[in-house]
Structure 1
Amino acid sequence: MVVLSYISLTVVVFILMEVVTWCTHKYVMHGFLWVLHEDHHQPKYQGVFEKNDTFFVIGAIPSILLFYFGTYPSFNYLFFIGLGVFLYGLSYFLVHDVIIHRRFSWFDNIKSPYLKALRKAHKVHHKHLGKEDGECFGMLYVPMKYFKQFL
């Protein structure tokens, strides 16, 4: 029963991270930390990293702390909250950097209507080069209007 509770906690945290991501993307990345996110919308430097990658480090800190305090001084529920945050971060990396922006050529032959709609929604987000007038700030949730052409 305890194991099921911890798995449920991890899944709930993973789902809630989509809400956290949406809010962070809209109000922080397109707000007061636009200076770090701008190069993602207006790429000028063709190197491996962007200033925007700083958000991966910022996002990893809570997960690391939750893993630490979830195992020290004894194993507890904080570990599973950290696991949910970590799994969402891993999913974000795979979806955003690998599938959408193709920073790595691992999944080049996408046939899934969901992944095609996800890429379309993100393209619409990047259509706006400035920090204003954006849409589709989440990562894994795709509004239904983007599925129409792929179903």
Structure 2
Amino acid sequence: MQIEIRELREADIRALADIEAQTFSMPWSARSFRILLENPYCFYFVALVDGRIVGGAGYTELCGEANIDNVVVAQSYRAQGIGQALLQALIAHGEARRITAFTLEVRVSNAAAIHMYEKFGFSSEGIRPGFYERPREDAVIMWRRQDII
């Protein structure tokens, strides 16, 4: 399977919003993704397999740090390295912009995602109680920091 990662385009938004709606209890809307495209501090990517969008991820840059806002992969394409490819693209893009720290929140019950983030050097640095709704759940706050010499 060949995975292509590229920047999000306007034409990709409907497919990405559909994956969100099928994945999350509180999905981002197509309008939310359109707003991100207009923000010069937001960087979003999509993953394609056989020309079909199967996932997306993005971050918002603030003061030399990146908040990874979203990582989503269509159900039928999970556990095939797509999330890892997206995360790798985000980190490479951020590092090229001299970002030295990445952070994200993830549901405490999402062991697969937590494991993936740990493989990329993220570590837990706290809990946000009740961060998620529908169902209500705490979030693990994870950080990946580079030592600056």
More helix by proportion, 1 or 2?
1
How would you bin the TM-score normalised by the shorter chain? under 0.3
Q: Which has the higher contact order (CA 8 A, sep 6+)?
A: 1
Whose radius of gyration is greater, 1 or 2? 1
> What is the TM-score of this pair, normalised by structure 2?
0.27
> What is the TM-score of this pair, normalised by structure 1?
0.27
